[in-house]
Amino acid sequence: MQQYSGFGLLTHSLTYHENWQRVWNNPIPKKHYDVVIIGGGGHGLATAYYLAKEHGITNIAVVEKGYLGGGNTARNTTIVRSNYLWDEASHLYEHSLKLWEGLAQELNYNLMFSQRGVLNLGHTLQDMRDIERRVNANRLNGIDSEVLTTAQVQEMVPILDCSKGARYPVMGASWQARAGTARHDAVAWGFARAANNLGVDLLQQTEVTDIRVKDGAVVGVETNRGFISAGKVACVAAGNSGVLAKMVGMDLPLESYPLQAMVSEPLKPILDTVVMSNHVHGYVSQSDKGDLVIGAGIDGYLGYGQRGSFNVVEHTIAAIIEMFPIFSRVRLNRAWGGIVDTCPDACPIISKTHIKGLYFNCGWGTGGFKATPGAGHVFAHTIAHDDPHPLAKPFNIDRFTSGQLIDEHGAAGVAH
Amino acid sequence: MTQVNRVAAAANQHINRNRPLTFIFNGKTYQGYEGDTIASALLANGVDVIGRSFKYSRPRGIITCDSQEPNAIFQVGSTQATTIPNPRATQTELYQGLTASSTNGWPNVDFDLMAGLGKIGGAMMPPGFYYKTFMYPQSLWMSYEKLIRKGAGLGCSPQQPDPDEYDKMHHHCDVMIVGAGPAGLAAALAAAETGARVIISDEQNEFGGHLLCSTQAIDGQLPSLWVKDIVDKLTTMGNVLLLPRSTVFGYYDHNLVGINERRTDHLGEHVTTSSRQRVHKVRAKQVILATGAHERPLVYGNNDVPGCMLANAVSTYINRYGVVPGNELVLMTTNDNAYKTAIDWHQAGRKVVAIVDTRTTSNGELVQQAQALGIKVLFGQGVINVKGSKRVKGVEVAAINAENHSVSSAISHYSCDTVASSGGWSPVIHLSSHTGSRPVWNDDIAGFVPGETVQQQHICGGLSGVYALSNVISDGFKTGSTAAQDAGKGDGSYASILPLINDPQEDPAMALFHIPHSKPTSRAPKQFVDYQNDVTAAGIELANREGFESIEHVKRYTALGFGTDQGKLGNINGMAITAKSLNKTIPETGTTIFRPMYTPTTFGALAGADVKHLFDPARFSAMHKWHLDNGAEFEDVGQWKRPWYFAKTGETMQQALERECLATRNSVGILDASTLGKIDIQGKDAREFLNRIYTNPWSKLAVGKCRYGVMCKEDGMVFDDGVTACLGENRFIMTTTTGGAAGVLQWLELWHQTEWPELEVYFSTVTDHWSTMTISGPNSRKVLEKICDVDVSNDNFRYMDWIEATVAGVKARIFRISFTGELSFEINVQANYGMHTWQAVMAAGQEFDITPYGTETMHILRAEKGFIIVGQDTDGSVTPQDLDMDWVVGKKKEFSFIGKRSWTRFDNKRDDRKQMVGLKPKDPKFVLPEGAQIVFEKDQPIPMTMVGHVTSSYYSACMGYSFALAVVKGGISRKGQSVFLPLSDGTTVEAEICSPVFYDPKGDRQNV
Amino acid sequence: MLLIHCPYCEEMREEEEFSPAGQAHIVRPLDPEVLSDEEWARYLFFRKNPRGLHHEMWLHTHGCRKYFNVTRNTVTYQIMESYKMGQQPSVTASEKGQS
């Protein structure tokens, strides 16, 4: 793999950048792969990379019906954090955050992982109790997290309205300093490049039309480019997971909802951290390009249209103005939607299935982006060993029957 | 400075020379006229450099006259409250005193220190360069990032809150027409004549669209007269709403159109006569998109030097504003249409150096007209490079071979100061793709047109690829009448007669986007595609070489289309370059999807009036003013403002709480409990319904009695609780938590309507009908007796009974229920008598020193009794059994009530579930922090095994020690054992698990 | 933003007046106690989540407060019909050949 560096840029500038290598190839599909991963988003590509790097499985295809990283990877608000409430979730997200911290160097691709910190605001006494509870749990789980007073929040974000006159005055916040944002597309591209380099075939514009099962075991996938035989098939298709599951007669406890996000026009630096408020119902950070990147709650109806309803945009912007009155004259440049697949307990499924060799990683709701390396890592382990990674175990599909749900609704709310 | 480029008034001009306006740009004062945009006024004044480019800091000038403008992005406004970041100079109307500045350039746009760096460093900054560097050492990225952020961004956010107001209007109409150019106006007239309710909006200050800058005669007259005639007709019709200065920013599902009307921005910086902007939300039966087309620039070497402009923009400045933005013009075109620009320039009395036509020939009427004027036309050639830095000085022209993208002759040099280019027109398809419709490529016009849609949508005019004016207008008439008919108005015909228009015969245009250079693109002078993000043709080709082949990848990797013009200017050219380099057709590289907003839309306008106190209107009880007058601090509970505690002068919160608690336990306290949800449930099956919804039985609750109940969701987890009283055999009044009221009502209705419609039961929410005050404490009866007409002695009025009575002359329901564990009476009166009754109770209680208390004291007193608060002591993962409240679960109920089945699931039967207990800290003065996590083993490495957490924790003034409620794994069978709480300050405290009932465990006090 | 026909009010009203209430035609088992945990979990948590036609419930929250059913395409967001509680849809996936 051609090594990237500032020196490389300098030397390539002498040859007018004519000699940069391809980041990935466009191979013809082979007849057989040991593992076929359906879905070329961040999670699928990370899974392929870790399978190849840590488990020595390199005869892999990532099958993507569109272009790499074109789903929710391309549509999220790029927040990375691990200060979740429940042990099972926080361990998984912290595993992911630790991987994030060295990922640019490992992949030799600058993912612009910016550990600028995330504030989760509390506006009511119960918010603050919940924050205390979560921060204490984080601390004892070894995750950096602290509770800030209103004065500390105000000092950190002077433009935030912390006055008592606000409709829901800021009473404090949780603060995770190691959390932050990353350049979303780069994550997919970095994993794709590294996986490609390890021999993984990235098959774009290749749509799976059926998953073939024989005698209770998966044997391959039908695609618009023909049948591809596979020893194992791993589904990492986010909002479309349910469609894949139906191909093998499986139901998943998932529902797919529109989740909208939006950006302002670029501004000179004005906001240095990520500010999230479940109560006021909006969150915002500023990208390196200067856009205010704003997130909303999900729309309440099922939707695969990659768009939601306008009133959600209106309410979200009102929430942003409530928190930051000075943004009232700033202008909204673009709003869009993704499809988030959510489980009843707001936690993902990383699981084997009753079909041998068929695996699912889905149901990330609004938490998928931040989990990208961690999810890929534990899912790769689960596939390679046909046995769940210890961190993935609580996220098996059987929990819906046993009642051992991991309820993250409190920690998830609108905000990611 | 004088307006050097302002020329004598031509007939079709739309500026008012009798109203000169002064304005300030980058600290200098200039003059323009009413009707000008900032852009036209700056060009009139001969200002060339209006900004610097984002990455390379190159000097930039005005390129367009509309929403495509990538460069003239300003900071407009003179105060930190009213300043606006990033409006386009081309769309900002001039007003007296307007203050604007460039958004990039340091120390200023004419002398930019970064430009040197841009020249040197630029070579090292191909697209995606940042992915390839700044990685080592890892620790330095945050510092690199700071520098990158500093360089990025355009304008600055205001620093002070917005003094302006915004509002919204909702409309329903038969036909909504977007765009008031010739097609839109014709459509509006045809639709309106059927009697249909019509709304027509246009982003510009005047209707007319393309006709505002055209000199083409209609009925032998100036086009503006035709426009005026139609607008006059529409204005007099009662069924038409005309919205100028109103941009349709979004087209949403089911024919919802979002319009932002700018009401005062053209009048001044802060105008108080009306809202600044207004969002109109229009539900239209039929939508006609008549958004026209945008001209495409050509991509050629150094095409960003100030003086390089779009051909149609040049014509617009001349014809509409009387501004000729230069002296010597070279026009490069792929089509006949742009010849108009050279003719306009010539007729304005300035020199046309040459028309460079990339086609080998053309005999169109406009071509002949130009040649007849003596203008030199060079066929088969292209402008391959521009000379100059802060203004065009000349061009390099050569014969080009479009097929193999090469230059096929020697280079000729021409001196000029302006280069106008036209690569044809792209229909403005943005709105049609907002609702998920994918545009389709049309080879005939070399552009995308709207694709199939599920909306009730019509398109006409330029948007559908119809460009000749007579066709545009007739298309407008036809579409307007068809849309009206589809909306149920008219028969699809129209009365208007097509005006007489002589459309020049045009020869075919050439589909060319990128002008070759004698060097390969990678080595040629920079050829800009998307100016705002400094995306070049070389950059796009590099992205393709690196494997970014899908147009979405190209866009994301190079930032093509990610500027504030959202790719209006550059997307098609970028796609064309990608297609060529991958040897594909443009549609094969993908399509271009646009999202709302069509142009950037003010946050304040989107929020409308839903800001400040209207963001989420607060709810207040009838006694709120009393609370305010008596020093209450408030707590937000749901939407309610509830008194939290009543501090007397000089008291700390803790002192106030201790006083309130002691007064209540020792004498009498009073709480405003009006906010608790109240649902009136009636019907002959009301009782059975309660049996199914609550976990406990209701069959035997007699009239006049009250009972506490718990509700679970079907997963078995507690979600609300409260007391329900039997008002009559078939009537109950249910109370819910304050925050849960709406959700509970919805829950009841859900089950009734979807599962058990056979039950005769009715619900109505009566929360707001009642004012509720709870008097609690050993002297509460004495207070009540003074003002109540009924015997409330223990013999006559038992615990958990309710009675009707008159209190302070007001009809009341009194419930003898207790959340404090004391003798308690909950007095409910009609809401409007709340204040009166409260004051009467206070007066009656004066001799007992009746003490108002807030939610915090209520929380302490109930916690002393081990009463839960749903949402504080529970979190959606707690069963009644976990709360040690099996007593509230009916064992013999016939119906398998909501939640029951889930308790037998494996995980819900485990005895190591987190269960509610009391905690006594070892140090009786130490109040455990709420939210503290609990461990069994004190000395554990991190990560520790956590077994629960503190849900409620207080110091009890009544008991003289601190205590807490908590959930602990298997806690119910661990009473007497110690647990540990590792706190955030590093200390670990010990506490003992005990019963959650701390005070009066037998419940004697409430029964007296 | 959707425009929804309330079959009780017999009017088209803005989405903001309504609350989505999930998949329609889920019948609560008459005797939950006899169900296996798997069957109970299926009732509690598993939904069709189709990409295409979906029969779903909405509540006219700020109107008549009636729950009713809607047949809607989850990709195009087109609403085919709305009908009262207890009624059956007239547009179904099989007719349209959608899953």
Claim to verify: residue B392 and residue B519 sit in the same structural domain: yes
pLDDT at A410: 46
**pLDDT < 50 stretches in chain A:** 410-416
B159, B179, B209 — which closes off a domain? B159
CATH code (residue B781)? 3.30.1360.120
pLDDT at A101: 96
* Element containing residue B536 per DSSP (H, E): strand B535-536
pLDDT at B113: 65
DSSP of A23-40: SS--PPPPSEEEEEEE--
- The Cα of C58 is separated from the nearest Cα of chain B by a number of Å equal to 10
pLDDT at A413: 38
Q: How far apart are the first and last CA of chain A?
A: 34
Has residue B922 been placed in a domain?
no
Has residue B78 been placed in a domain?
yes
Q: What is the pLDDT of residues B958-990, one digit of tens each?
A: 999 999 999 999 999 999 999 999 999 999 999
Domain that holds residue B450: 166-293+427-486
Test B757 with C61 for CB contact under 8 angstroms: no
* DSSP bridge pairs for C84: C68
Chain C residues inside the 8 Å CB shell of B456: none
- What average pLDDT does the segment B274-280 reach? 97
B452 and C CB contact within 8 Å: no
- CB–CB of B717/A344 below 8 Å? no
B254 in the Ramachandran plot: left (φ > 0), alpha (ψ -120 to 50) or beta?
A: left
- CB–CB of B859/B952 below 8 Å? yes
CATH code (residue B81)? 3.10.20.440
Burial class of residue A341 (count of CB atoms within 10 Å of its CB; 0-12, 13-18, 19+)? buried
Total domain count, chain B: 4
Q: Give the helix ranges, DSSP H, for B82-140.
A: 113-122
Provide the token pair at A93.
Answer: 């997200």
Q: What is the pLDDT of residues B640-693, one digit of tens each?
A: 999 999 999 999 999 999 999 999 999 999 999 999 999 999 999 999 999 999
Distance, in Å, from the CA atom of B316 to the CA atom of B211, rounded to the nearest integer, reads 10
Residue of A nearest to C39 (CA): A401
Provide the token pair at B217.
Answer: 């005669």
Q: Among C2, C27, C35, whose Cβ lies nearest the Cβ of B901? A: C35
Peptide bond into B59 cis (omega under 30): no
Q: Is pLDDT above 70 for B230? A: yes
Q: Is pLDDT above 80 for B291? A: yes
Q: Is pLDDT above 60 for C95? A: no
Can you give the C-alpha Rg of chain A in angstroms?
21
- What average pLDDT does the segment B782-801 reach? 97
Q: Is pLDDT above 80 for B373? A: yes
- For B347, residues 6+ apart whose C-beta sits below 8 A from its C-beta are none
Phi, psi for residue B139 in degrees, rounded to 5: -65, -20
Residue of B336, B675, B295, B640 whose CA lies nearest to B505 = B336
- CB–CB of B70/B561 below 8 Å? no
Burial class of residue B235 (count of CB atoms within 10 Å of its CB; 0-12, 13-18, 19+)? exposed
- The Cα of A215 is separated from the nearest Cα of chain B by a number of Å equal to 31
Claim to verify: residue B339 and residue B386 sit in the same structural domain: yes
- For B692, residues 6+ apart whose C-beta sits below 8 A from its C-beta are B751, B756, B895, B897, B898
Mean pLDDT, chain B, integer: 95
- The Cα of B388 is separated from the nearest Cα of chain A by a number of Å equal to 23
pLDDT at B332: 98
Chain C residues inside the 8 Å CB shell of B256: 1, 3
Claim to verify: residue B234 and residue B345 sit in the same structural domain: no
Claim to verify: residue B289 and residue B301 sit in the same structural domain: no
Tell which of B83, B130, B131, B282 to mutate to test the A interface (max A CBs under 10 Å): B131
Q: Among C1, C32, C85, whose Cβ lies nearest the Cβ of B896? A: C32
What structural domains and CATH numbers belong to chain A?
6-78+184-253+345-412 (3.50.50.60), 114-179+256-342 (3.30.9.10)
Has residue B660 been placed in a domain?
no
Dihedral sign, Cα of residue B187, residue B188, residue B193, residue B195: positive
Residue of A188, A182, A183, A181 whose CA lies nearest to A23 = A188
Phi, psi for residue B682 in degrees, rounded to 5: -135, 160
pLDDT at B143: 86
- For B238, residues 6+ apart whose C-beta sits below 8 A from its C-beta are none
Dihedral sign, Cα of residue B41, residue B45, residue B48, residue B49: negative
Q: Could you tell me which residues of chain A have a Cβ less than 8 Å from any Cβ in chain C? A: 240, 242-243, 246, 251-256, 300-305, 309-311, 343-344, 400-403
CATH code (residue B247)? 3.50.50.60
Dihedral of the CA atoms A235, A237, A238, A241 (nearest 10)?
-70
Render the burial of B527-564: b for 16+ CB within 10 Å, e for the rest: bbbbbbbbbbbbbbbbbbbbbbbbbbbbbbbbbbbbbb
* DSSP bridge pairs for B807: B788, B810
Distance, in Å, from the CA atom of B79 to the CA atom of B74, rounded to the nearest integer, reads 14
Claim to verify: residue B154 and residue B262 sit in the same structural domain: no
Total domain count, chain C: 1
Distance, in Å, from the CA atom of B933 to the CA atom of A85, rounded to the nearest integer, reads 11
Distance, in Å, from the CA atom of C13 to the CA atom of B923, rounded to the nearest integer, reads 61
- CB–CB of A192/A54 below 8 Å? no
Distance, in Å, from the CA atom of A325 to the CA atom of B612, rounded to the nearest integer, reads 9
Distance, in Å, from the CA atom of B348 to the CA atom of B339, rounded to the nearest integer, reads 14
pLDDT at B592: 75
Provide the token pair at A69.
Answer: 């990283």
- For B154, residues 6+ apart whose C-beta sits below 8 A from its C-beta are A265, A266, A267, A268, A290, B73, B85, B86, B103, B104, B564
Has residue B12 been placed in a domain?
yes
pLDDT at B9: 67
Claim to verify: residue B269 and residue B133 sit in the same structural domain: no
| Alpha-carbon distances of B656 from B632, B852, B859, B930, rounded to whole Å | 11, 11, 14, 20
Size of interface A-C (CB pairs under 8 A): 64
Size of interface A-B (CB pairs under 8 A): 331
Q: Among A129, A290, A407, whose Cβ lies nearest the Cβ of B931? A: A129
β B440-442/B447-449 pair status: antiparallel
Claim to verify: residue B213 and residue B96 sit in the same structural domain: no
CB-side exposure of B50: number of CA atoms within 13 Å?
31
pLDDT at B56: 87
Has residue B627 been placed in a domain?
no
Q: Which residue has the tokens 């019909």?
A: C81
Residue of C nearest to B256 (CA): C1
Residue of A242, A309, A191, A238 whose CA lies nearest to A72 = A238
For residue B125, what pLDDT band results from cuts at 50, 70 and 90?
A: confident
Q: Which residue has the tokens 């919160």?
A: B653
Chain B residues inside the 8 Å CB shell of C79: 254
Claim to verify: residue B113 and residue B215 sit in the same structural domain: no
Instruction: Compare B743 and A413 and report the one with higher pLDDT.
Output: B743
User: Helix, strand, coil: what percent of chain C each, to 5?
Assistant: 20, 35, 45
The chains found to touch A (3+ Cβ pairs under 8 angstroms) are B, C
Domain that holds residue C91: 3-96
Burial class of residue B491 (count of CB atoms within 10 Å of its CB; 0-12, 13-18, 19+)? exposed
B638 and A CB contact within 8 Å: no
Distance, in Å, from the CA atom of B625 to the CA atom of B612, rounded to the nearest integer, reads 21
Test A305 with C74 for CB contact under 8 angstroms: yes
Claim to verify: residue B87 and residue B147 sit in the same structural domain: yes
pLDDT at A412: 37
Q: What is the pLDDT of residues B18-77, one digit of tens each?
A: 999 999 999 999 999 999 999 999 999 999 999 998 888 899 999 999 999 999 999 999
B152 and A CB contact within 8 Å: yes
B988 and A CB contact within 8 Å: no
- The Cα of C2 is separated from the nearest Cα of chain B by a number of Å equal to 6
Has residue B264 been placed in a domain?
yes
Has residue B282 been placed in a domain?
yes
pLDDT at A415: 36
- What average pLDDT does the segment B264-286 reach? 97
Residue of A33, A43, A34, A35 whose CA lies nearest to A236 = A43
- The Cα of C99 is separated from the nearest Cα of chain A by a number of Å equal to 9
ipTM, interface predicted TM-score of the complex = 0.96
CATH code (residue C92)? 3.30.2270.10
Q: How many CB atoms lie within 10 A of CB C38?
A: 10
Distance, in Å, from the CA atom of B105 to the CA atom of A312, rounded to the nearest integer, reads 37
Q: Among B133, B907, B930, whose Cβ lies nearest the Cβ of A9? A: B133
For residue B802, what pLDDT band results from cuts at 50, 70 and 90?
A: very high
Claim to verify: residue B225 and residue B360 sit in the same structural domain: no
What's the whole-model pTM score?
A: 0.96
Has residue B470 been placed in a domain?
yes
Claim to verify: residue B415 and residue B539 sit in the same structural domain: yes
Claim to verify: residue B12 and residue B127 sit in the same structural domain: yes
